[in-house]
Chains A and B, each alone.
Chain A
Amino acid sequence: MNTVTEGRLAAERHVLEILSAAEAQVPATAATFSRRSFLKVTGLASGGLVLAFWMGDEATAVAAEAAGGAKSFAPNAFLQIAADGTITILSKGPEIGQGIKTAFPMIIAEELDADWSKVKIEQAPINPKVFGRQSAGGSRSIPTSWDQLRQAGAVGRAMLVSAAAAEWKVPATELTTEKSFVIHKASGRKLAYGALAAKAAALPVPDAKSVSLKERKDYKIIGTSIHGVDNRKVVTGAPLFGIDQTLPGMLYAVYEKCPATGGKVKEANLDQILKLPGVKQAFIVEGNGRTTEVMPGVAILATTTWGAFSAKRQLRVVWDETNAATDSSNEILAKAQELGKLAQGPGVVRADGDVDKALATAAKQVEAFYSYPFVSHSPLEPMNTTAWVKGDTVELWSPTQTPDPALGLVANTLGIPVDNVKINQTRVGGGFGRRLMNDYACEAAQISKQAGGIPVKLQWTREDDMTHDFYRPAGFHSFKGAVDGYGKLTAWANHFITFTVDGKVPSNSANYPADEFPAMLVPNYRVTQSLLQLGTPTGPWRAPRSNGIAFAVQSFLHELSAAAGRDHLEFLIDVMGEPRWLEPRTEFALNTERAIAVIKLAAEKAGWGRKLPEGRGMGLAFHFSHAGHFAEVAEVSVDRAKRLTVHQVTVVGDIGPIINMSGSLAQCEGAVIDGLSTMFGLEITIEAGRVQQSNYDRYPILRQGMHIPKIESHFIQSAYPPTGIGEPSLPPVAPAICNAIFAASGQRVRTLPLVKSGYTLA
């Protein structure tokens, strides 16, 4: 095995780890709390109260040490109450547009009974030893932090109450709290949190588990609409983002890699580049062969971004493509169609019951081949990082979704200890899964090092961004399904054709989850897979796997209900069956009762079954992903020329209680736009290992005026613990619209994007 392949495999393993961590089904922090390590109380110079909370003994040691020198106090997340009543809460996770910088502090403030108008929010420093999980991915921020943040607020409140009880010499049970005040109703006295802060700081810390948490009916902040805490900075153009960072003496860097993944630099016209205006350095970077760190290329450093961009256009590199990707979308499609003729692939994802027997004895059998393309993330802020290597240390300013694993990747790239890496988290101009990777951060660090330890801002061009992504893998599904004489779903076979790097296991996010809907809901169920070699990197894209699988699976399910002559609403409810949790029977599993509830409400809100004029139809699709139960109904019109109008999409989800209503509705609106945009017109194609789309002109993301449907969203705020909202509302969008197209026109869409089948937006 050559070194390039080893590097690629190492990168594949890393992405798998990232995704596994992002989608962990155990709250990452709750189990490791202990009384001694949960809270640290320390007096502020100003006489205020600082409550710090973190996990684990090492974290305690680090934070305690830091607290000793008040300047560098570094707990995992903390709240600080100053004598003037100002409450500062640190938000530990990256803000990528999902609204977490507002939602996290809302949870703490709720249990603290804080006056939200006086709460200040700050971004926590990156230090996983102290903070634990600091990544944004898998819609897991809320479920993994819910208990931790509630307890943090509740402990703070309990101590303030104790301080007031001591002051007034009354039992704590007679006291209530409201908007940053402790109140003794019997005597009509009240004291502000700020006035109690110094006294509270001197008290012993109660066991986090001993403090009572609020009942949901008593929530005053959670569930309301709270404005984004950085709104003002965003609308005034404050330097929040990675691209906005500057350092004194900084040079602007660009980095050119082989357009086919894995190519090495044979030679480059560096002498010519060095003569160009503003160019200070130009050099070859060997890289370590890991797509998640640094692939080979040429770095150019100039005094301005434009100088670097202009020089990059003059750069001529001869690539050694011996080990480079040679992928071809056309060849992939041809191979997948050929494989799709086979009933099964060599890999077994899941096999329940006897599918072949059920198919043979069924009243009606349906076969279909579905496909969807590679797509890019294309967040509006192109990849960038500012890095400054000083000796064997490095400091970075990076718009990443995963700052905690980035520390290790940068350390590996530079060959320095992980403790010597400092990352400053910036606001992130769109994530969508792209920034779960930290390749741009590793490149910036390596370039700073090779440039002699000067500060550099590495700025990818849009073209770099679109042609060096970790693409949402294309997918091909060869289905057979059957219904019995009563129209009941009896058999489901899916031969999934997907990709591999090593020839053994699927590429990242190209795997088929064994519990993906409708697993465990059909007695005879089989998913097998065939693997096609792919050199181009793939990775998680908003609602990884489900974003493509839902289109195929929920469309094919509609084909089966149509074949059975049944109403899809009634059919879908029937498929769910008795109320129960599916495996693994946790909040991260499908619950048929929750599923049925969202399906019914979506149908009701959309007016399912109402008589529609000719050429107009409704489509219903459900999907469970990322712990969210979502059902969506699309209402569309299609004319004979395949001009499509999506009138409305109704979204109903159950993710437990909503933290921030405004933010949650925004995520649903965004998911519908993202889903429609992608299923309608977006496709990445590859030839000779080269991605053929390089900018928005050939990757036409939906625009204002390009037919934005009405979106109506509702939540069933069930009694279960809250889960995330960033991803699960996306997967049902495409099948709901495709099922509506069928209802309106009788045309079944089995290939995305829609433009490939001749559809236009009316």
Chain B
Amino acid sequence: MATVRLNVNGQNRVIEDVDAQTPLLWVLRDSLGLVGTKYGCGVAQCGACTVHMNGNPVRSCQIPAAAASGAAITTVEGLAKADGTLHVVQQAWMDHDVPQCGYCQAGQMMSASALLAQNPKPTDADIDAAMAGNLCRCGTYHRIRKAIHSAAEKLQKRG
């Protein structure tokens, strides 16, 4: 058992008495109560657990918590601003009614927001490449694509 120090959504968190090999996913959910990040498969096949680690989308079910120590972790709870202003991706997800059951959407939005941060004007092929790791069992792929394009347009307008 170990003590793990994480920086999650801009806050330093200390998790004591935890198995250092515990995947980040379960530390976020069970230790920190950040349950927006979802468990879907446990083997990096579905993307429901996607979070940002130093801005990169990672599958938190595959990252031992200790390995995330020192990195800046962002979860879906940290996507909006502290004043409640939604991230452009979150707003686009609402505007396009992307969610059906909604279970995968935290992971989808984390992949999408990471994509837009690195590539503010993605093509369909860019979206395919960036989003292929995120399964949606309800089949909301069209709306996800539309929402990403519309979020990109908003970012362009903001300059």
Interface string of B126-141 (1 = CB under 8 A from A): 0111011111111111
Interface string of B69-89 (1 = CB under 8 A from A): 000000111011000001000
B45 at the interface (CB under 8 A from A): yes
A368 at the interface (CB under 8 A from B): no
Contact B135 A304 (CB under 8 A): no
Given contacts A237-B34, A695-B43, A705-B128, contact A663 B97 (CB under 8 A): yes
Contact B30 A252 (CB under 8 A): yes
Q: Which residues of B have CB within 8 Å of A99?
A: 100
Q: Which residues of B have CB within 8 Å of A236?
A: 36, 76-77, 79-80, 86, 90
Contact B99 A462 (CB under 8 A): no
Q: Which residues of B have CB within 8 Å of A429?
A: 38, 101-103
A708 at the interface (CB under 8 A from B): yes
Cα(A241)–Cα(B38), bound, Å: 10
Given contacts A235-B86, A306-B23, contact A704 B128 (CB under 8 A): yes
Q: Which of A226-234, A557-565, A586-594, A613-621 lies on the face that meets chain B?
A: A226-234
Given contacts A307-B19, A704-B128, contact A380 B103 (CB under 8 A): yes
Contact A704 B141 (CB under 8 A): yes
Contact A673 B76 (CB under 8 A): no
Tell me how far the C-beta of B88 lies from the nearest C-beta in chain A, rounded to whole angstroms. Answer: 11
Cα(A396)–Cα(B79), bound, Å: 31
Given contacts A669-B142, A674-B139, contact A231 B40 (CB under 8 A): no
Contact B101 A380 (CB under 8 A): yes
Tell me how far the C-beta of B23 lies from the nearest C-beta in chain A, rounded to whole angstroms. Answer: 7
Measured CB to CB, the nearest residue on chain A to B86 is A235
Contact B45 A696 (CB under 8 A): yes
Q: Which residues of B have CB within 8 Å of A721?
A: none
Interface string of A494-522 (1 = CB under 8 A from B): 00000000000000000000000000000
A677 at the interface (CB under 8 A from B): yes
Given contacts A237-B106, A380-B135, contact A277 B19 (CB under 8 A): yes
Cα(A591)–Cα(B101), bound, Å: 32
Contact B26 A230 (CB under 8 A): no
Contact B127 A228 (CB under 8 A): no
B42 at the interface (CB under 8 A from A): yes
Cα(A381)–Cα(B102), bound, Å: 10
Cα(A459)–Cα(B86), bound, Å: 31
Cα(A230)–Cα(B94), bound, Å: 9
Contact B90 A235 (CB under 8 A): yes
**Candidates A427, A430, A666, A696; contact of B41 at CB < 8 Å:** A696
Contact A304 B139 (CB under 8 A): no
Contact B143 A243 (CB under 8 A): no
Interface string of A246-272 (1 = CB under 8 A from B): 100000100000000000000000000
Tell me how far the C-beta of A382 lies from the nearest C-beta in chain B, rounded to whole angstroms. Answer: 7
Q: Which residues of B have CB within 8 Å of A379?
A: 101, 103, 137
Interface string of A128-156 (1 = CB under 8 A from B): 00000000000000000000000000000
Given contacts A673-B139, A703-B135, contact A430 B145 (CB under 8 A): no
Cα(A429)–Cα(B35), bound, Å: 13
Q: Which residues of A have CB within 8 Å of B39?
A: 243, 305, 382, 459
Residues of B contacting A: mostly: loop
Contact A378 B137 (CB under 8 A): yes
Interface string of A398-435 (1 = CB under 8 A from B): 00000000000000000000000000000111111000
Measured CB to CB, the nearest residue on chain B to A672 is B139
Q: Which residues of A have CB within 8 Å of B100?
A: 97-99, 666-667, 670
Cα(A278)–Cα(B17), bound, Å: 10
Q: Which residues of B have CB within 8 Å of A225?
A: 97
Q: Which residues of B have CB within 8 Å of A243?
A: 35, 38-39
Contact B137 A305 (CB under 8 A): no
Q: Which residues of A, 306-360, contact B by the 8 Å Cβ criterion?
A: 306-307, 309-310
Contact B143 A235 (CB under 8 A): no
Q: Which residues of A have CB within 8 Å of B90?
A: 235-236
Q: Which residues of A have CB within 8 Å of B38?
A: 241, 243, 380-381, 429
Q: Which residues of A, 669-722, contact B by the 8 Å Cβ criterion?
A: 669-674, 677, 695-697, 701-706, 708, 711
Q: Which residues of A have CB within 8 Å of B48?
A: 380
Contact B86 A237 (CB under 8 A): no
**Candidates B30, B104, B136; contact of A305 at CB < 8 Å:** B30
Interface string of B114-155 (1 = CB under 8 A from A): 000000000000011101111111111111110000000000
Most buried by A among B22, B35, B97, B109: B97
Contact A670 B77 (CB under 8 A): no
Interface string of A17-33 (1 = CB under 8 A from B): 00000000000000000
Tell me how far the C-beta of A734 lies from the nearest C-beta in chain B, rounded to whole angstroms. Answer: 14
Tell me how far the C-beta of A387 lies from the nearest C-beta in chain B, rounded to whole angstroms. Answer: 17
B29 at the interface (CB under 8 A from A): yes
A760 at the interface (CB under 8 A from B): no
Q: Which residues of A have CB within 8 Å of B37?
A: 237
B31 at the interface (CB under 8 A from A): yes
Cα(A705)–Cα(B148), bound, Å: 14
Contact A666 B140 (CB under 8 A): yes
Contact B99 A234 (CB under 8 A): yes
Cβ-closest 4 pairs across A and B: A237-B36, A673-B139, A705-B128, A97-B101
Some 15 contacts from A to B, beta carbons below 8 A apart, are A227-B94, A237-B75, A240-B102, A241-B38, A243-B39, A304-B26, A305-B26, A382-B39, A461-B42, A670-B100, A673-B141, A674-B139, A696-B45, A702-B139, A704-B145
Residues of chain B whose beta carbon lies under 8 Å from any beta carbon of chain A: 1, 18-19, 22-23, 26, 29-31, 33-43, 45-46, 48, 75-77, 79-80, 86, 90, 93-95, 97, 99-106, 109, 127-129, 131-145
Given A380-B48, A677-B139, 6 new contacts (CB under 8 A): A227-B95, A307-B19, A381-B38, A459-B39, A702-B141, A704-B131
